[in-house]
Structure 1
C-alpha cells in the first residue's frame, strides 16, 4: 500500500464536503521580517508597534496578506495540489488581527463543481476559513480552482455553481477593536493623502516596478508551505517554466501601491480577484489602482476605500481589449476594501 499522497483530483470533490487542512502554523515576528524582505512592504501600521499603538492597537499586527498566505498555503495540498490554475476570489473578509504567537489552521467547504468541456479538468469552488488557536476565524474567502481529472473518462458530476456576492458590503467589514485614526500621523505614515482626498473613479499609477526573481518566488512559496506542483516542477508545463504563485503577485502589487496609497493601512475585504495571465521569473511587475467606492465606518477617524488593484507588465490604466478579455500584459485584477484615516 502506497504511503505517499498524490493529492485530490477533480472527481474527488463534491459540494458539501468539509476538509480540515493539516499542519497548523505558529507565526512569529520572523514571518513579518521575511514578508518585508520578499516584498517592498512598508505600510506603517504593520511596521511599527509604536505607530500601531498610536492608532489604538496593542502592537503591530501581522500583515493581512501574510496571514492570507499562511492560511492559503494550508489549503494547497487538499485543494490545488493538482491545479492547472487558481482562477479567482470572492467574499473575502479579514475578521480578526493576527499577532506573533498565534497559531493558524484552515478549514474548507466545497461549494461548487463544474467539469470543463474538454473532459480533462474541472473547476472547484471552496469557502475557506482561517482559524487561530482559540478557534476564532481570522479570515474567510471563496476561491475557485481549475483541477486536473485523474481519469478523463470518469463521468462528469452534476454542475453546481455557487451564487456569490459581487462585493462585500461596507457594513459587513470588520474594523479591529480599538482602531482609532483621529490622532493619525501622516508624516510617519509617509503621505498626506487621506480618505477624503480620493474620488470615486480616480486612477493612480504607482510608478515603481519589481522584476520577479526565481529565488525570491521559490522562497516565498516555501515560506507559505504552498506545495502546488506548478510552482516547483518545471516539467508540468509545456513551456518548461515554473508558474509564479498568484499570491506572490498580489503581495508585490499591494506593496507597490504604497506609492500613492501609503495610508491604506489595513485590508478588510476581498470582493473579487482574477489571475488574468501567468507570471514567470524575469517579468517586471508594475501596479495601478482605481477608486471604486467609498464608505464611512463607525470607528473614530476610520474610512473604507474600495479599490481595484491591477498588476501588469505593460502600461498603466490598460485592462481589457475590445473583446472584453484581459490584455496579455495584465497579471492580476483585484477588487478589495482598505481602511484608512478620514
Structure 2
C-alpha cells in the first residue's frame, strides 16, 4: 500500500487529505488532553481517528472528542505486557481495513505496536511522541527503532526530551528525532478560568493574602520541598501570604511535616486533587514550579493564559516554556526562589512579564502555532 503524499498549502501550511490514526495509552489525565490537542491540530483538513488502548467505552470522551471516530480497546495491564502479539494482529487488521496514511503514537508501547505492524508488511508513516525522559533506556527498544527507522519520526515534547532520546539512540539519524512542543487551546482555557475573587472563593482561600500556587503530583521529581523552604523564608517578611498546592502523591505527609517543622503549617495549604484545576489559576498571585525533571510543563502555559506570573526551575522543558516570559532559578536553590517571590510581590516588572508570557503562549504554544510546526516536520 502506498500512502498518500503529504501536501502543504502555502497559505496555511496545513496537511491535506490524510487519514490519521492516533494511538493513546488511555483517556485519563494527561493523555486525554494530549489526544484532544492532536485532534484539534489535525481535524480541519484530515480524517482523524483516536484509539485508546486502555479504558472502557466512555460517552463523555466520545461527546467531547474532535476526532471523527473514537475506538476503545479496554486493554488491561496483562495485555499490554510482553510481545503483545494479539494487539499487533488487531492493529494490523485495523490499519489495513481503514487504510491509514499516518499513525501518531503516544509513548513507546504505541510506537512498538505500530512498528511491528510495519514489519508485517503494511506501509504507513509513523510519528512517535515521547512525553517523558528515559523512554529508551532499554537496549531492546533502542535496537528495534534504530533498525526500522524508515517512515518513522520521533518527537520529544521539549528540546530536553529530544536530546535525551538522541543521546539514548546514537544509531538513529538525528533528523529522525525532533521537537514538537505540547499545545494549549488558549481561547478554550481562558473562557473557563474564573476571575480571582470567584476562584479564591471556590478554593476557600483568603481573599486578601498574597498566594503562591503550585499544581502537580507530590513526587520527588516535583521537589515541592524546595518550594516550601523558599515560602517559609518569604513568609517571615510577608506574613499575609499563603502557599497553595493542588495535587496528591506519596510525599504528602512528608511535605506536611516539613511545613510544620518550618512553622508554616497553617499557611502551606494542601488542597488535594482538584478537578479542572486550571479553572482556578487566577486565584494565585504567582505560580511556581520547582521540578527537577519536567519534560514540558503544561501547567506553566495554563498559568500564563491566566496572566499569572510564573517562576520555574531552570532545567528540563520548563525553562524552554518560560524563557524570558517569567522567572527562572537554579534547581533546589530555595534562597534564589525566595528572592524571586519578593521580586514578584514588589511588582518590579510584573505587568511586563505577564503580558510577555501571554504573548509567548500564543506565538509558540497555541494549537495553530504547534500545528504549523507539526506540518513542517511531517512534510520533510
Query: TM-score, normalising length from structure 1?
Result: 0.24
Pick the structure with more helix per residue: 2
Query: TM-score, normalising length from structure 2?
Result: 0.23
Pick the structure with more strand per residue: 1
* Bigger Cα Rg: 2
